[in-house]
A and B are shown apart, each in its own frame.
Chain A
Amino acid sequence: MSTEATTLRVIIAAFTDFLTVAIHTILYERAIYPPTSFLSARKYNLSVRQNRHPKVCEWINDAVSAVETELLKGVVGRVAIVIYTKDNHPVERFMLDVSRFPTVALADLDTPLERTAANGDRLPILPRIDMEEQFRATLSRLASCSSTLKPLPEGCVFNIAVELKQDGQPPLNHPQPWMPVQSAKGDAVGGQLQKKAVPVRSIAAGELLLECWIEEADGAS
């Protein structure tokens, strides 16, 4: 993979890998599924948890590829992993801000990207080592987040939401993977709850600029 030129597709592929691992980690940390259903895996030279249930893995993979489709269109502002209680009240949101990804025309998805510094040096578009290191740090922070957050009530469920940029077209084609949700003023999924934001990490590896934080709904019981 390091031999091919870095295109936007490559950047997005790296991000979706990270997203998959992050979802698995969050599921483990917040005990959405029983801990025994997770096995230890290794990613980015870090030991992570991965769910074993085939349906769970399948669902996560499908969701992440739907996110990828939207990312390739360049309309995504943020990706959110939302935890709901049994009554469908959102309790927590794990936010990933992807609005700072490079925007290219659809025809240029596979065009190698290039960046030159002010003095004319060529800068790497996606330095793998830096990226891995930062992903590792983010996942470590996510893994220890559960101790800082309030314990979740029983029977929580999770879902993945995508917030579009201002000018983004909602995906409403026939096999509709996404459900449009009417966003309340000020924030998207989450309603009017008071929120507390806990920063996790911001990643800056070449052109891959990402921010990650956790929003907790104070009002939820």
Chain B
Amino acid sequence: MAQEYTEYLAINVLNEQQLVSYRSLSRALKVHSNLAKQMLYEFHRKQNAKRPGSVHATYLITGTRRPESPSQTNGAHSQEDGGDTVMQSSPPLPGSSAPQHEEDAEEPVSVRSVLLVKEEHLEQAKATFESITGIHIYSLQANGLSDVQSLTECNRKITASYASEDPLQAWKQYGTIQNPNVKRRTQRRGPPPPAPVAKAAEPKTKPLAPTTKPTVLERQASKESKASQESKPASKPTSKPSSAKATPEPAKKPATVKRQDSDIFKSFAKGRAKPKKQDSQSSAEATTPAAAEPEDEPMGGFSDEDDDAEDGAADIDEVPQEPEGKSKKEREADLQAMMDQEDEIMEDAAEAIPDKTAAEEDEGAIDRPVSRQAEEPAKETVTVENGRRRGRRRVMKKKTVKDEDGYLVTKEEAAWESFSEDEPAPKKLKTAPATSTNKPTAAGKKGAAKAGQGNIMSFFSKK
């Protein structure tokens, strides 16, 4: 041990003429910082005994300074050069309290200072201290230190070379000051899931896109996912269903068109993914994988959320995706029903129970995207349609839960809610989804335009 440090210091300080601070010595030899300080002292003493002036030291003095000599301090690292100008403009740095003149005039405030001094100024600096609580060697160098700033290089090298060490384990060895209440975050992903979701969506879209065979679909998917990313955080589900549906379906020109329609329609609503999903589902119902995909994904969504970022984000995606998928499905069905028979929507609604339920769910879905965005829109739609429709619907409610780490995590949960409404007139049905979508979406204009477009586009989609 004794040989090691002498050798190390001889090589670094004398031969290579580098600056060695006690911290770099402790990291290099894996010893406690205090031991490193003692090593520096020993080496300094021995070398200077052999050849005076071969090794220079910089000292760190901690103590209480005499209040009557404030002019000598320039801040934490004062050089104490003879004739050094007093830079009063430099603000007192934390950790070293440079006494201000005003303070001294009022009352003798004892100030604790931490001072870096070159060895030639050591005695002078010591004289300025009233009482010294600690003094040790900070660094050694072969020749005098010209610029104190060069000491910063030592610390930078430490952080660069020893970045791989876990400070929570290494602190005992090195003697770094440690807060016992500190602990690592368990969850890698931060509180806002949409942000990493959106980000994860984009890289996912890109790797997934090349794998899909139809380039048209890919471009659609990536384009829409990119657009949706800007608008809503549900872009991730977009990429997934789009890629999912793209892969099993090799040739989907009509599907593309259909997707375009609903995509444009839904682009201003929440969750672009849904329209895509809807399209794939509606257009190619024969494709079981496509149908199975959304089922699988929602199922997977309820899995454990303790995975790392990607999985967690995926899970979060799944959860909203599943209800959204239903909503999209319902919306699609409902819209189609609306478009198809404008006058007979009531009958249709009354006749077909699945249609009715689909319609209800669709309304709920329509309301759901609304509610998904915020609870207020959901309430707004409720109040608007209050007393006009009946049935049960699924509403997304947000719950803010305090996590184990103390983070507030907002989760969306689907809750069944029963509401009563009159049998809706077709116009009301049309307008209600239009208005409901209007409210949740920030762009009211877009909503109106979208509703109009939806109506128009439905004509084309009929064919």
Contacts and interface: CB of A to CB of B under 8 A. Distances in A.
B186 interface: no
A46 B144 CA distance: 20
A28 B146 CA distance: 10
Interface stretch (A77-85, A138-146, A211-219): A138-146
Nearest to A40: B149
Nearest to B146: A146
Contacts of B181: none
A147 B146 contact: yes
Interface in A140-172: 140-141, 143-144, 146-148
A141 B17 CA distance: 9
For the complex, would chain A's binding face be called helix, strand, loop or mixed by DSSP majority?
helix
A29 interface: yes
B143 interface: yes
A144 B153 contact: no
Q: Name, among A28, A140, A141, A147, the residue most crowded by chain B CB atoms within 10 Å (CB to CB).
A: A147
A140 B19 CA distance: 10
A150 B431 CA distance: 90
Nearest to B79: A35
B304 interface: no
What range describes how many residues of B lie at the interface? 10 to 19
Nearest to B153: A140
Interface in B135-158: 141, 143-147, 149-150, 152-153, 156
Contacts of B87: 36
A140 B156 CA distance: 13
Contacts of B156: 45-46
Given A36-B85, A45-B156, A144 B149 contact: no
A69 interface: no
Secondary structure class of chain B's binding surface, majority of residues? loop
Given A36-B85, A45-B156, A147 B145 contact: yes
Contacts of B152: 47
Contacts of B19: 144
Interface string B43-84: 000000000000000000000000000000000000000000
Nearest to A136: B153
A23 to B, nearest CB: 16
Contacts of A136: 153
Contacts of A141: 17
Contact of A47 (B141, B143, B145, B149): B149
Contact of B147 (A36, A45, A143, A148): A143
A146 B19 CA distance: 15
Interface string A21-40: 00000001100000010001
Contact of B146 (A36, A40, A46, A143): A143
Nearest to A31: B146
B85 A144 contact: no
A36 B143 CA distance: 23
A29 B150 CA distance: 12
Contacts, number: 36
A49 interface: yes
Contacts of A47: 149-150, 152-153
Given A140-B153, A144-B17, A144-B141, A28 B147 contact: yes
Contacts of A144: 17, 19, 141, 143, 145-147, 150
Contact of B143 (A40, A49, A148): A148
Contacts of A147: 143-146
Contacts of B153: 46-47, 136, 140
Nearest to A48: B149
Interface in B410-445: none
Given A36-B85, A45-B156, A143 B144 contact: no
Interface string A1-31: 0000000000000000000000000001100
A49 B147 contact: yes
Contacts of A28: 147
Interface string A163-193: 0000000000000000000000000000000
A36 B89 CA distance: 13
Contacts of B147: 28-29, 49, 143-144
A42 to B, nearest CB: 10
Contacts of B141: 144
Contacts of A140: 150, 153
Contacts of B144: 147
Interface string B222-251: 000000000000000000000000000000
A46 B152 CA distance: 8
A40 to B, nearest CB: 6
24 contacts: A28-B147, A29-B146, A36-B85, A36-B87, A40-B149, A46-B153, A46-B156, A47-B150, A47-B152, A47-B153, A49-B147, A136-B153, A140-B150, A140-B153, A143-B146, A144-B17, A144-B143, A144-B146, A144-B147, A144-B150, A146-B146, A147-B144, A147-B145, A148-B143
Given A47-B150, A47-B153, A144-B141, 20 more contacts: A28-B147, A29-B146, A36-B85, A36-B87, A45-B156, A46-B153, A46-B156, A47-B152, A49-B149, A136-B153, A140-B150, A140-B153, A143-B146, A143-B147, A144-B17, A144-B143, A144-B150, A147-B143, A147-B145, A147-B146
Which 6 pairs between the two chains have the least Cβ-Cβ distance? A147-B143, A147-B144, A47-B149, A146-B146, A47-B152, A143-B150
Interface of A: 28-29, 36, 40, 45-47, 49, 136, 140-141, 143-144, 146-148
